[in-house]
Structures are given as structure tokens and as C-alpha cells.
Amino acid sequence: MDILLIFMVFSSVTPWFFWRWGWQWLALLQLPFIMGMWGFLFEMITSNGTQPEAFSLLWFLFYGNFVLAELAVVLACRQWNQRTKSQETVDKEKAM
């Protein structure tokens, strides 16, 4: 459960990353997913032992937000890779 909550917090801040990288439309698209994700968690916690309905709207938003968060991780790795390669090029030019 701890890992799930850590991932949910990370998923909640990914719109900030999208906005910073110039993907404002994706950041705005993710906001309903974040609300649904936390709503689904609240529904799971308060369900008194019964399972929430699978394939409901909140269920879709919960797992959809994880997909968007993983997209943010891939984009962050790509940004870091490009930045590292450009820095290596600059360092090689300075060495010559």
C-alpha cells in the first residue's frame, strides 16, 4: 500500500512536468484522472470490505492516471538523455 501511495503522489505532480515541458494540453487532460484516482482510493478505503465496482469510471480514471504518469517518466528520461548528449557534445568541443 505504501508503494501505491508513493506512486499516487508522483502521479499527482506529473501535470507540472507536462506543463514545464510545453505539453499543456496533456497536463490539463490529466487533471480529471487525478481527481478520479484519489476518488477511487477514497471509495476503496471507505467500502467496508466490499470491492469497488470494476470497470467503473473511477476505476478507469485510477488506472488511466498511472498510464499517464508512466508516460511522464518516459518523457523525463528522454529529456534527460537529450540534455546529457548535448552536454557531452559541448564538452567534447571544449576539449578540442
Nearest to 65 by CA among 94, 30, 16: 30
pLDDT of residue 86: 79
| pLDDT 10s digits, 46-84 | 877 666 677 778 788 888 888 888 888 888 888 888 888
Give 14-21's long-range contacts (Cβ < 8 A, gap of 24+): 14/68, 14/69, 14/72, 17/72, 17/75, 17/76, 18/72, 18/75, 21/75, 21/79
Average predicted confidence (pLDDT) for the chain: 82
Tell me the whole-structure pTM to 2 decimals: 0.68
State the Cα–Cα distance between residues 65 and 30, nearest whole angstrom. 7
pLDDT of residue 37: 87
pLDDT of residue 42: 86
pLDDT of residue 50: 66
Q: What's at 18, amino acid-wise?
A: F
